[in-house]
């Protein structure tokens, strides 16, 4: 049976421009090649999970404007259940303005818009779906009170929660440590435990600290090097997959969804992380957010090409 995944998160219209470099404060520079791409971390995670074969329901909100209904249609075409996505008459659909540098790195300025209209009551209405899920996925791109209610509801029903602590928010959900899995990158650790991880030793320390606060599987992503994990079996580095990078947008979302689906399907942690690394790597090989998210067959092909899941490099860390 397909893994049942419920996602709480944002749905954005992404406006993507290429630029030779980022503007300095007060400066205007010319970008080029403006593209409109479906995005938003919640929507991206939902689409990835659906492309990996999961049965997915998304809790979110869009505006009844030029973008919202089209984004909703797009999600439905991907097989995502949108019955818990609201259509707001008064607030604009969330948007992200993304500047893409020649090396594939991006800078994102995002506006919450209708995403900030997702209330705890809205989450409450999806309780029956949450209760039946195998895994819940959430980030910080909707109001924190709603994230708190989502984590609490999932835990009441013994459903594991994967929390991807991004984007930066003023405050953390009070129950963040009740997430079963936490997946910051080297800078996002700052929102959770107060410091960034410029090197591997600090990342190991951060993963240990997050685990010690109650998170079963504490992950600190290491970009193309893979990810550091700390769980009941200790700390280790699960190696990533080198690819030709076109655009890193959505890679973190693909990683989170890949990890959530793999764990929900019952893969052991190391193999689930290798699967997630492959999902994140593939999302870097194409332009845009939802335009780049991998299908199951592509993930399996990449893994087969690199020695299979069992062949993933796992290095114990002390």
- Which residues sit at the interface with ligand RIB, rule CB under 6 A? 10, 12, 14, 39-41, 44, 96, 108, 110, 141, 249-250, 252-253, 289
In sequence order, the β-bridge partners of residue 219 are 229
> Which residue of the chain is nearest ligand RIB when measured via CB?
39
CA distances from 296 to 18, 49, 124, 129, 258 (A): 29, 9, 31, 24, 9
Residue 92 near residue 41, CB atoms below 8 Å? no
* Residue 73 is a catalytic residue: no
In the chain, where do the E strands start and end?
Answer: 4-8, 12-18, 32-39, 55-63, 81-88, 94-100, 106-111, 135-138, 161-163, 181-182, 217-221, 226-231, 234-239, 314-317
**Least distance from C-beta 289 to ligand RIB, angstroms?**
3
Taking the C-alpha atoms of residue 42 and residue 298, their distance in angstroms, rounded to an integer, is: 21
Choose the catalytic residue: 81, 88, 134, 253.
253
**Least distance from C-beta 243 to ligand RIB, angstroms?**
18
Taking the C-alpha atoms of residue 63 and residue 177, their distance in angstroms, rounded to an integer, is: 32
Query: By C-beta, is 88 or 247 nearer to ligand RIB?
Result: 247
Query: By C-beta, is 50 or 312 nearer to ligand RIB?
Result: 50
Query: By C-beta, is 210 or 289 nearer to ligand RIB?
Result: 289
Question: Helix, strand, or coil here: 100?
Answer: strand
Residue 266 near residue 135, CB atoms below 8 Å? no
Query: By C-beta, is 14 or 186 nearer to ligand RIB?
Result: 14
Q: Which residues of 150-162 are buried (b: 16+ CB within 10 A; e: fewer)?
A: bbbbbbeeebbbb
- Of 164, 169, 104, 163, the closest CA to residue 143 belongs to 169
Q: Is residue 40 left, alpha or beta, with left meaning phi > 0 and alpha meaning psi from -120 to 50?
A: left
Any idea which residue has 């919202």 for tokens?
68
Query: By C-beta, is 40 or 240 nearer to ligand RIB?
Result: 40
**Least distance from C-beta 42 to ligand RIB, angstroms?**
8
Taking the C-alpha atoms of residue 70 and residue 147, their distance in angstroms, rounded to an integer, is: 25
Query: By C-beta, is 97 or 209 nearer to ligand RIB?
Result: 97
Two tokens, residue 8: 């709480």
**Least distance from C-beta 10 to ligand RIB, angstroms?**
6
**Least distance from C-beta 52 to ligand RIB, angstroms?**
17
**Least distance from C-beta 12 to ligand RIB, angstroms?**
3
The residues annotated as belonging to the active site are 253
């Amino acid at each position: 049976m397909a893994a049942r995944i419920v996602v709480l998160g944002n749905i954005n219209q992404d406006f993507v421009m290429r630029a030779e470099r980022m503007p300095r404060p007060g400066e205007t520079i010319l970008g080029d090649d403006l593209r409109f791409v479906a995005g938003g971390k919640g929507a991206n995670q939902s689409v990835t999970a659906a492309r990996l074969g999961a049965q997915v329901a998304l809790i979110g909100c869009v505006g009844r404007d030029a973008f919202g209904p089209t984004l909703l249609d797009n999600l439905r075409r991907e097989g995502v259940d949108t019955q818990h996505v609201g259509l707001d008459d008064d607030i604009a659909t969330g948007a992200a303005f993304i500047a893409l540098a020649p090396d594939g790195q991006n800078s994102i300025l995002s506006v919450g818009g209708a995403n900030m209209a997702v209330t705890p009551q809205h989450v409450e209405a999806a309780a029956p779906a949450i209760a039946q899920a195998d895994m819940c996925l959430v980030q910080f791109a909707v109001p924190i009170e709603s994230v708190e209610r989502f984590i609490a509801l999932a835990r009441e029903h013994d459903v594991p929660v994967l929390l991807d602590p991004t984007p930066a928010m003023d405050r953390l959900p009070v129950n963040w440590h009740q997430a079963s899995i936490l997946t910051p990158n080297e800078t996002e650790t700052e929102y959770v435990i107060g410091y960034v991880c410029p090197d591997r030793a600090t990342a190991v320390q951060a993963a240990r600290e997050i685990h010690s606060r109650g998170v079963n599987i504490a992950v600190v992503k290491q970009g193309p090097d893979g990810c550091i994990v700390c769980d009941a079996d200790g700390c280790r580095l699960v190696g990533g997959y080198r690819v030709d990078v076109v655009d890193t947008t959505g890679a973190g979302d693909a990683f989170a969804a890949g990890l959530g689906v793999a764990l929900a399907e019952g893969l052991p942690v190391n193999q689930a992380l290798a699967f997630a690394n492959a999902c994140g790597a593939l999302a870097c090989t194409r332009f845009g957010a939802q335009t780049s998210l991998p299908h199951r067959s592509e993930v399996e092909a990449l893994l087969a090409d690199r020695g299979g899941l069992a062949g993933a490099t796992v290095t114990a860390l002390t």
